[in-house]
Amino acid sequence: MLRFLISRLLQGIVVIYAVLIITFALQKLSPTSPFNGERNMPEEIRARQEAFYGYDKPWPEQLRRHLWNYTTLNPPASIKLIGHGVGEIISEAFPVSMSIAIPALLIALGLGIPLGAIAALRPGTLEDRAATIAATTGICLPSFVLGPSLALYFGIKLRWFNVSGWEETADWVLPSMTLGIIYSGYIARLTRGGLRETLAQEFIRTARAKGASEPTVVMRHALKLACLPVLNFLGPTAAGLFTGSFVVETVFQIPGLGQHFVSSAMNGDQSLSSGITAFYAALILLFNLLVDILQAALNPRISLKE
């Protein structure tokens, strides 16, 4: 186990450095400078800013400074958000995105797994078709349609929640419902497929032949293996949710990490976009590691030895 964790840690460090290098290269291949959008900026001021951020130096020196900043856990300052460091922006926006992501994951699991299980246990029936239609609708329904619809009904018509802003403790409900309903469709489809495949395996027939009741067969033997595809899906999904959904955050006017991620790319804030990209990569690695550990706990045939 310890050897596996050390191996994954070293692999993760290599991946994060690769992400930083690739992001840096793509930014430098862009024909514009982060300061080109300032139309009224005098050339002398532009030159001073480029010197302050190190953009007047050769690419290898810029890359060295870029990697050194993250190696020493001292991310650079944002180019567009003057006076704010990349680490400060992420530390302020990430808890907001996390406040939406955790309930959204719980809603997605709470809706998706029972829906997929019902469809798998009653194949070809009305329940199966209804669950499949509901899951497909959730997958195909865009967040920019579902979000305003929920805001219109629960916010404007019923006046239960605010339709925008991040001021009250209940402001997470509508954004989390939007994301949770959408991702519950994916989880329902994966649960249905995994459970149908597991119920057809030999050890399930053996458990039934030994006289185990159907609820015991499903809950104790089949469901934990059927959830393995769901776990694989939750790794990158959780990382994406925790870094924020730009559409949902825009619809509900939430100051999360997703808006910073997109605005940094559109505004040419290379420091902020690199920092959020590296942070996103680190979250993917972390959640994939947790998924591997959970899979080994659920499936004895999976070993963590390398």
Task: Provide the 3-class DSSP secondary structure of residue 124.
Answer: coil
Per-residue pLDDT, 168: 79
Whether 172 contacts 95, CB under 8 Å: no
Count Cβ atoms within 10 A of the Cβ of residue 249 and give its class: 0-12 exposed, 13-18 middle, 19 or more buried: buried
Q: How many CA atoms lie within 13 A of 101 on its CB side?
A: 23
What is the spatial distance between Cα 171 and Cα 89, in angstroms, rounded to a whole number?
21
Q: CB-based contacts of 278: which residues, under 8 Å, 6+ apart?
A: 16, 19, 20, 23, 70
DSSP string, 151-217: IIIIIIIS--S-SS-S-SGGGGHHHHHHHHHHHHHHHHHHHHHHHHHHHTSHHHHHHHHTT--HHHI
Angle in degrees, 0-180, between the axes of helices 143-150 and 173-199, rounded to the nearest 10: 130
**How far is CA 136 from each of CA 5, 41, 232, rounded to the nearest angstrom?**
38, 51, 20
What is the spatial distance between Cα 155 and Cα 31, in angstroms, rounded to a whole number?
44
Whether 127 contacts 118, CB under 8 Å: yes
What is the spatial distance between Cα 270 and Cα 69, in angstroms, rounded to a whole number?
14
Q: Which stretches of the chain are DSSP H helices?
A: 2-29, 43-53, 59-71, 86-121, 126-140, 143-150, 173-199, 202-209, 214-216, 223-226, 228-242, 246-251, 257-267, 270-298
Token couple for 53: 């951020």
CATH superfamily of 93-298: MetI-like (1.10.3720.10)
Whether 16 contacts 58, CB under 8 Å: no
pLDDT averaged over 10-residue windows placed end to end, the chain, 306 residues? 79 89 82 62 69 73 84 81 81 87 89 86 83 84 84 85 81 88 88 81 74 71 76 81 78 83 78 86 85 73 61
For tokens 């997605």, the residue is 108
What is the spatial distance between Cα 250 and Cα 271, in angstroms, rounded to a whole number?
22
Whether 14 contacts 3, CB under 8 Å: no
Per-residue pLDDT, 155: 83
Boundaries of every domain in the chain:
2-71, 93-298
For tokens 């597991």, the residue is 198
